[in-house]
Each structure stands twice: as C-alpha cells, then as structure tokens.
Chain A
C-alpha cells in the first residue's frame, strides 16, 4: 500500500511539473477571489440574510410544521444525491487522469480519492453555506438560541458527509439498487407525519434539530451525535471507489469536460445537448405520422418523448409543481411569495424543456440545407404544440391541486403560452454574436464575460423577471398582470420570429 502511494505521488509530480501555477497566476487568482468575495459574495449573503430575517419569513420558518418540511426536503436531497450519481457522480477526474491513473494497476480507492474529497468538500461547503444563511437570518431575527443554532450547523456538517456517500453510491452501485434506495428514501419523506419516523434517519435527525431551534423547545444533542456517527459511512468510500467502472467514469469525464468547454465558448445549448442522453429504448414504438402536418408533428414529438420515460416523468412533475407554486394567492407573506413565484416560473421553464426536443431539432434545421420540406416557421410552430399542451395540462393539474380558485387556471394558461414562446425564442438563438466577446476593460478586469452570461441566460432571465415577477402580483392585481404578460408574450413572439428569420427560415 505504501508503495502504491509512492507511485501515485510520483505520477502526480510529473503532472505538477507541467501544470504548476506561476506566481503571477496565483497572484491574479487571489486578486479575483478577493474581488468576487468582497463585491459579490458578501453583498449577496447580506441581502439574503436580511430578506430571510423579515418577520413574516421568520414566522414561516418557525411555523409548527416547518420541521417536517425540513425533513422532507432533506430526504429529497438524499434521494436526489443517489440519482445524481449516474449523471454527474462524486468522482469525475479529467479524462486523462481517468485513462492513465484510474486505469492503472493502482487501487481506485487511492487514485480517485482526491477527486471524491474535492466533490465532498464542495458539497459540504454548499450545505454549510445554506445552513449558515438561514441560521444567520434566524439569529438576526432574534429567534434562534446560539447553542441550538451551532448544533444545527454541526448536524448539517454530518449530513453533508452522508449526502456525499449517497452521491458516490449513486455512481458506484447498480442502477437498480440506487433507484430502489432513492424511491425508499423518497417514500420516507412522505412519512414525516407519522410519529417516530423522524428518529430513524439522518433527514429525520436534521428535522428534529430544526425543531429544537424554535423558542421554548429543549436543546437536542443526540441528533448531532447521530449525524456525526452516520457520517462514518465515509468508511465505505474506498470500497465504493474500487467498485467504480472505468468506462462509466470515462463517460462522465468526457461528458463534463465537453460541457465545460462548450460553456467556456458560450455554447450553453450545445452543453445541455451533451447532457441529454441518447435513447436506449422504445425503438419499435409505432409512429403513424398520418393526418395534417401539425398532427403528424405532434405524433412524432409524442412518440419521441415516450423514448425518455424518466425524463418526461421528471419534467412533467416539475410542471405540476410549477402550477402548484404559481397559483395566485394574496395571502402568502411577501418574502415567501417571491420565492414561490420565482421557483415556480423556473420549474415551469425547465419542465417544459423536456417536451422540446422536436422544437430544438426544427430550429437546428432552420438554416439553408434543411432536411425538411416545410418552412422553418411552420416546423417550429408545429413543434411548439406539444410542449404548450403539456404545459397547460400538467400545470393546470398542479394549479387545481393547490386549491387555488378556478381563475388561477386562466393565469396558468397565459403563463404556459409565455413560457413556450420563450422556449421557441431560446431554441432559435443561433451562434453568439462575435461582438459580445470583445473585451470591456474596467478596473476590475475584462467584464465581457457579463455580456456572454447575459446572452446565454437571456431566456431564464426573461422567465424569472416577467413570469416570476408578474406571478407575484397576479394574486393582488390579476387583470393588470394578465395584460402585462400578454404584452410580453407578443414581444417575445416578435423576437422569436426575428430570430427564426435570421436563421434562414
């Protein structure tokens, strides 16, 4: 074993001699890090903490049943960590290291340990940051006791260890086992109402710690100890690392390296395309393709969608959740209302995306030399029918499920049309104008990256600002919000038309 470690150190030293950063690089990195922390991270954290410290939000966070919601969210995070492993595992070294270090005769528990520790550290920082922001808000609101707050943060640290192991399990174990475990954990999240269930799992212990934050409740020590002990699951990491298959690690390494390269060059659409796996089932599904063109395209899109059952179920569930979250109500506190409206709009946009494969293909074929014999506008318009139908149907189900008045259906329908139009706008984006890459020198350095980010994220920004913002006011100013979103939809449609024509359609 000692010899193995020496070999790894020697191998890494070969790389280090080539990749070692120069002092000027290190200095620039520190300069950028200090600026980002001072100008972005600290103001953002202060804004979030102040927003969460509003009395309405603090009251919502300390509501009698809030601990059950915390338990449910934590369990969903645990199930999500398991399922994430196959798409983006906890161990994703560069393809080069995967090929020659993980593929060498050295034990993978040694060669891949550094990659896992990096992922686990990032995960731990994310969990602690989230917990710290919420606890900071509660302390600022004068509600949380320091001892309980500290115990909660410590518990979250233990929880992050458990989540890291689950993440690695999702990558290392067979799909059948991980899906089974995820379903089991997901089911347990629904059982938080049953007395005693919270005492038997890390997500339950986190919920109990959250409850002990409330004024007038005793400080609990045992859940922190239980979470710390459960993080000993990290002892299973070497075995899990040794169980990883090199082809699967390499597939993820190559995929995420490509995603990184495409994002760096500004091709986010291409990057998200790489993340969409090709179909492996449903090749013999019947696709009749009969009737008028629009119906033919709906059949084509619907059959194609059935080849991605998991994706479609997840996307449709997201739309149902979006309908539930965006149902207009005038009774929720301001801070919570903004969170639900923005989350709902974003979920709707992401959920509709899984129904848009045909739409994207039509846009890719919009230029000269298209495979299709119809105009790009006809093709794109016809491919928008299925996403719009799915958005209206699934979102309406969520809206009705929320118990909102029937009028909320009308709001959701408008929202669906708007979001699908934004999807059309996004699919017809084409290559990024080269002018956006021109340097913009400022005392903080070249900020042309902001242009690139704005170009790449324009659809999400439009959805968040328009759909999210107007949803927040739909409960109190319904008619005005409806008129504004209809106007915005017309504007987006005009922009989309312009983009389609620019593509050659």
Chain B
C-alpha cells in the first residue's frame, strides 16, 4: 500500500492565494480528515492529492514519486470523488456501477458482484433500476460516493461525502469507508461533519484562511 505525502503545497493564481502552504503524510490504513472554513482550500488540497492539480509551490508525492493523474499508476491507486460525477442519463444506478467496475477490469459477474456489494453497503440496493434523474439529492450523493468505492483503489479521497445525507446514511458511508481502511487503504476526506470526524479520523488537519 502506498504512502501519500504533501510537502508545503500551496496554490495561488495571479498572486491570489487559494491554498496556504500545508504538509501532510497519509500512511496505509490511516484516515486523515481535512477541516477548515469555506474557502480555506480543502477542495484545492484534495485536487492536489488526487494529482489533478499541480501546486504552485511544494510537492505532492505518491510513494516518493511526484503525483500526476496522467500516470496510470496514480489513477489505479487513487480513487477520488470531488464533486458530483458526470452521470449518464441513459444508465440506471446499477448500470453505472457495473460499467465503472468493468472499466477497472472487473468483468462479467465480478463487476455485477462489486456493484451489488457497493449498493448494499450504502443502502442503495432498492434503487438499482432507477435512472439518476429519478434519485433524490441525498441518493444522488450516495451514488456519487458509490462510484468511488466500486472500483479498486489503495487511496480514497472524498470531498464532503456527508453532503445532503441523513444520520443513518452518513453512518452507512462511514461504515463502508471503514471496511476499506481495515483492509489497509488510506483515506483522505474533507468534512464539516463532527460525526464523520469523530467516527473516522486517525488524524486531522485544519486549514487556515489563505
């Protein structure tokens, strides 16, 4: 299992600071929760840690190598869900997950099993045949989280997974994530939820105003 690191990463555009310098280390089997006020740069940090954004200063590393989502290894290792994904309106919830699992090499019944297991873990199994526009906002959020969990990964990155979820659903998401932590995956989550922080965090980092 790889180690994810950020050394004094910061982001600024035209001298406007979007993320003040921050350093973190996330080891296998560890959950780090990123906290901070709106606009403190939580999402920006997650984008750096997922290799989608190059920091203006500092360095993000995956197992000691510079992090870039163009690398196949990085894409295989890191599963990131930052914002809602671009759902296909013509696919059902289950078809989405099956399709995603298939693209990650889980073919045939294995893909179906992965989709079933993920839906069951998140309490979505009853919604398997719904199209995305037929889901409530909370259900859509759960499906978005499911798209990150249904594929293989060693590092999971989620941006405020608690959005629009009730307490029961939030507990389901936390339990599903714990399953992956227990098998050795590392997790980085940005969250405003005290429950999420209490139930999950091995460590926290609080971002200051940029």
Partner-B contacts on A (CB < 8 A): 3, 6-8, 10-11, 14-15, 18-19, 94-96, 98-101, 103-107, 242-247, 250, 253-254, 280-281, 283
Q: Is B113 an interface residue (CB 8 A)?
A: no
| A105-B75, A243-B70, A246-B69 as given contacts; A283 in contact with B100, CB under 8 Å | no
B90 within 8 A of A: yes
Can you name 20 A-B residue pairings with CB atoms under 8 Å?
Answer: A3-B105, A7-B105, A10-B102, A11-B103, A14-B99, A18-B90, A18-B91, A94-B88, A96-B91, A98-B86, A99-B85, A100-B85, A100-B99, A105-B75, A105-B76, A107-B72, A245-B69, A246-B52, A253-B86, A283-B14
Residue of A nearest to B85 (CB): A99
Q: State how many angstroms separate the Cβ of A108 from the closest Cβ of chain B.
A: 8
In whole angstroms, what is the CA distance A95 to B103 when docked?
15
A14-B99, A245-B69, A283-B14 known; A254+B75 contact, CB < 8 A: no
Asked whether, in the complex, the Cβ of B86 is within 8 Å of the Cβ of A250, the reply is yes
B116 touches A (CB below 8 Å) = no
Chain A residues, CB < 8 A from B87: 96
Least CB separation from A19: chain B residue:
B90
Residues of A near B42 (CB, < 8 A) are none
Q: How far is the CA of A11 from the CA of B85 in the complex (A)?
A: 18
CB distance from A265 to the nearest CB of B (A): 15
- Whether A242 contacts B86 in the complex (CB less than 8 A), given A105-B104, A280-B14, comes out as no
Are B70 and A99 in contact, with the CB atoms below 8 A?
no
Q: Which residues of A contact B75 (CB under 8 A)?
A: 103-105
Q: How many A-B residue pairs have CB under 8 A?
A: 74
Besides A15-B99, A106-B103, 16 new A-B residue pairs in contact (Cβ under 8 A), listed by A number: A7-B102, A7-B105, A8-B103, A14-B95, A14-B102, A94-B86, A96-B91, A103-B75, A104-B103, A105-B105, A107-B72, A242-B70, A245-B69, A247-B52, A247-B53, A283-B14
> Interface of B with A (CB < 8 Å)?
13-14, 16, 52-53, 69-70, 72, 75-76, 85-88, 90-91, 95, 98-100, 102-105, 107-108, 147, 151
| A152 vs chain B, min Cβ distance (A) | 40
Q: Known contacts being A11-B99, A245-B70, A246-B52, is A99 close to B86, with CB within 8 Å?
A: yes
Which residues of chain B have C-beta atoms less than 8 A from A280's C-beta? 13-14
A99-B86, A245-B69, A245-B70 known; A7+B14 contact, CB < 8 A: no
Cβ contact within 8 Å between A96 and B14: no
**What is the CA–CA distance of A243 and B104 in the complex, to the nearest angstrom?**
20
* Chain A residues within 8 Å of B151, by CB: 104
Contacts of B86 in A (CB 8 A): 94-96, 98-99, 250, 253-254
Q: Which residues of A contact B105 (CB under 8 A)?
A: 3, 7, 105
Separation of A162 and B45 alpha carbons in the complex (Å): 40
How far apart sit A94 and B86, CA to CA, in the bound complex (Å)?
9
The answer to whether A7 touches B13, judged by C-beta atoms less than 8 angstroms apart, is no
**Chain B residue, CB-CB nearest to A96:** B88
Give the shortest distance, in Å, between B130 (CB) and chain A (any CB): 14
Q: Which residues of B contact A103 (CB under 8 A)?
A: 75
Q: Please name all residues of chain B whose beta carbon is closer than 8 Å to the beta carbon of A250 when the two chains form the complex.
A: 86
- Residues on A with beta carbons closer than 8 Å to the beta carbon of B147: 100
Across the interface, name the chain B residue whose C-beta is closest to A4. Answer: B105
- Minimum C-beta distance from A14 to chain B (A): 5
Bound Cα distance from A56 to B167, whole angstroms: 79
Residues of A within 8 A of B90 (CB): 18-19
**Is the beta-carbon distance between B95 and A18 smaller than 8 angstroms?**
yes
Chain B nearest CB from A249 CB (Å) reads 11
A103 to B87, CA, bound (A): 14
Which residues from chain B contact A11 at a C-beta distance below 8 Å?
Answer: 99, 102-103
CB closest chain-A residue, reference B13: A280
Give the 8 A-B CB pairs with smallest separation, nearest first: A95-B86, A96-B88, A104-B103, A105-B76, A14-B99, A11-B103, A11-B102, A99-B86
Assembly CA distance A222 to B96 (angstroms): 52
CA distance A135 to B76 in the complex (A): 51
Residue of B nearest to A111 (CB): B103
Complex Cα distance, B51 from A246, in Å, reads 10
Q: Given the complex of chains A and B, what is the CA–CA distance between A471 and B151 in angstroms?
A: 62
Minimum CB–CB distance for B197 against chain A, Å: 28
Contact B88–A101 (Cβ < 8 Å): no
For A247, the chain B residues whose CB sits under 8 A away are 52-53, 69
A281 touches B14 (CB 8 A): yes
Query: Which chain B residue lies CB-closest to A108?
Result: B70
Q: Which residues of B contact A6 (CB under 8 A)?
A: 107
Q: How far is the CB of B118 from chain A (nearest CB, A)?
A: 14
A264 to chain B, nearest CB (A): 14
Asked whether B98 lies within 8 Å of A14 as measured between CB atoms, the reply is yes
Residues on the A chain within 8 Å of B107, using CB: 6-7, 10
Query: What are the residues of chain B within 8 A of A245 when measuring CB–CB?
Result: 52, 69-70
Known: A94-B88, A245-B70, A280-B14. A104 touches B104 (CB 8 A): yes
A95 to B85, CA, bound (A): 9
Shortest beta-carbon distance from B91 to chain A in Å: 6
Q: Complex formed: what's the CA distance from A244 to B72 in Å?
A: 12
Contacts of B53 in A (CB 8 A): 247
CA distance A98 to B86 in the complex (A): 9
- Chain A residues with Cβ below 8 Å from B103 are 7-8, 11, 100-101, 104, 106
